[in-house]
Amino acid sequence: MGLRRLHERSTWFCVFLSVLLMITSYEANGKSIKENSNTCSRRISTSFMIRESSAAGNSTRRRSSSCDIFQGRWVFDNSYPLYNLTTCPFIRREFNCIKYGRPDSLYLKYRWQPSYCTLPRFDGKDFLTRFKGKKIMFVGDSLSLNFWQSLVCLLHFAVPRANIIQKTTNTTNIYTFQDYGVSVILYHSLLLVDTESEKIGRVLKLDSIKNGGDVWKNMDVLIFNTWLWWGRRGIKQPWDYVQHGNKISKDMDRMLAFRLALTTWAKWVASDVNSTKTKVFFQGISPSHYNGHDWNQPGIKSCSNQTEPLSGCSYPAGLPSVTTIVKDVLSKVLSKNIVHLLDITTLSQLRKDAHPSAFNGFKNMDCTHWCLPGLPDTWNQLLYAQLSSLFP
Ligand SMILES: *[C@@H]1O[C@H](CO)[C@@H](O)[C@H](O)[C@H]1NC(C)=O
Ligand SMILES: *[C@@H]1O[C@H](CO)[C@@H](O)[C@H](O)[C@H]1NC(C)=O
Ligand SMILES: *[C@@H]1O[C@H](CO)[C@@H](O)[C@H](O)[C@H]1NC(C)=O
Ligand SMILES: *[C@@H]1O[C@H](CO)[C@@H](O)[C@H](O)[C@H]1NC(C)=O
Ligand SMILES: *[C@@H]1O[C@H](CO)[C@@H](O)[C@H](O)[C@H]1NC(C)=O
């Protein structure tokens, strides 16, 4: 009886919500969006949702409704990409797929369509005006670099004649849009926690995060990311020893090491970051595509020749297990709503077509990073949507 009533109520609520959101999308787009709610199940989690006020307007009907912007599918949209090679002079050779000969261009023409709402189109002028005087920093590895470059391109495209000052230090790379006082900064850090050179070699300190912290906490927006390097071994492994507490060992379980480091980071955010001033994001795990088995093409060993995204809203292989660690550790901090997860994993998993493959300045097979223009532009749309609700 109770269950049935709950079911009826939630059904009613979904209908109500869909109507509101269709109205909103209609207003935003000039065309309504057909949704098949059977294909993608609704998944709401208070920490990851975005509020969207109903276009219907007045205060009684203006309940804010929620839509998980990370759940949806890719749709063809001929108005994409949001900028191109000729309009962004900053694209590095790692990501500059068009310049390095990528012949197909369909991969540039997809827009992320959340199941129950529509993302605002990235508006660079609005971004610069809204975040005037603010410092936005990406902290992490080359996937942060990928994300950061995309934002610089998106903003530059909106204001091509604006004065930009570029400055590099040993750990940071800064683009300042002078007319707006907005700085978009990359802070290079593979593991977020410290690695110190000692007599025995490079020691990865799972409990210590003092190297970058003083710089990071002066920012207005921080977008952290780490994972890629935690699994590396041999010459690519960026440490020689691991220290946890007083114990120094040659190696340890990588998932455990990652969990401990992320916990150190989360505690640092909770204790050292003024969450009134600084909005903190964690960039979800970015997937790679080296195993066709994951997307039901067994035998395929790379992203080479992939020209289309997967249709639908779920990935055959499911989520990589490390995402469980991320959500688990973040949930301890998220209860206070301090860290926002940019839950980009599934939507990026669907984009087996969006990697450089061999079309980069190195000619080696890269199914880890992403072409620009391309997928990270969508990550920035998602960031923009979330930031806009945090700095209304
Ligand atoms: C809001 O709209 C509803 C329906 O159109 C109307 O009945 C109600 O009086 C309005 N409320 C206010 C505060 O304007
Ligand atoms: C790149 O941008 C220029 C200028 O906006 C435009 O003329 C051209 O068609 C664009 N190229 C692509 C591939 O979108
Ligand atoms: C980077 O520069 C800062 C300040 O100039 C210095 O304290 C720090 O040791 C440098 N870091 C590296 C890795 O060289
Ligand atoms: C946190 O930041 C807000 C906004 O900038 C400021 O008013 C407040 O004093 C800061 N709190 C602390 C403890 O520094
Ligand atoms: C990709 O396509 C090219 C041309 O059709 C072909 O020569 C090559 O073997 C393909 N590569 C893979 C990994 O399937």
pLDDT in tens, 41-64: 544 443 334 443 333 333 333 334
Query: What is the C-alpha to C-alpha distance for residues 48 and 343, in angstroms, rounded to an integer?
Result: 8
Residues 227-240: what's their mean pLDDT? 95
Q: How far is CA 66 from the centre of its chain?
A: 19
Give the pair of three-digit tokens for residue 348.
């990026």
pLDDT at 7: 47
Catalytic residue among 156, 357, 369, 377: 369
104 Cβ inside 6 Å of ligand 2: no
305 Cβ inside 6 Å of ligand 5: yes
Catalytic residue among 141, 353, 366, 377: 366
Lowest average pLDDT, out of 8-17, 30-39, 186-195, goes to: 30-39
pLDDT at 335: 65
84 Cβ inside 6 Å of ligand 2: yes
- For residue 134, which ligand has an atom nearest its CA? 4
CA-proximal residue: ligand 4, atom 12 (nearest): 274
170 Cβ inside 6 Å of ligand 3: yes
Give pairs for 127-131: CB < 8 Å, separation 24+: 127/154, 127/155, 127/158, 127/182, 127/384, 128/155, 128/158, 128/159, 128/162, 128/177, 128/179, 128/180, 128/182, 129/180, 130/387, 130/388, 130/391, 131/180, 131/182, 131/220, 131/221, 131/387, 131/391
36 Cβ inside 6 Å of ligand 4: no
Tell me what the pLDDT averaged over the chain comes to.
Answer: 85
274 CA: nearest ligand 4 atom: 1
Query: What is the C-alpha to C-alpha distance for residues 83 and 151, in angstroms, rounded to an integer?
Result: 11
Is residue 309 within 8 A of residue 346, CB to CB? The reply is no
105 CA: nearest ligand 2 atom: 13
Beta-strand pair 182-188/135-140: parallel
pLDDT at 20: 38
CB-based burial, 77-106: b 16+ in 10 Å, e otherwise? eeebbbbbeeebebbeebbbbbebebeeee
Claim: this prediction has a pTM higher than 0.85? no
Residues 369-375: what's their mean pLDDT? 97
CB atoms within 10 A of CB 304: 13
Task: Report the separation in Å between the CA atom of 115 and the middle of ligand 2, taken as the mean of its atom positions.
Answer: 30
170 CA: nearest ligand 3 atom: 1
Tell me the Ramachandran region of residue 104: left when phi exceeds 0, alpha when psi lies from -120 to 50, beta otherwise. Answer: beta
202: which strand partners? Answer: 197
Q: Which strands form 194-198's sheet, in the order they lie side by side?
A: 194-198, 201-205, 241-244, 247-249
Active site residue 144: no
CB atoms within 10 A of CB 211: 16
Residues 146-167: what's their mean pLDDT? 96
87 CA: nearest ligand 2 atom: 2
CA-proximal residue: ligand 5, atom 4 (nearest): 305
pLDDT at 45: 41
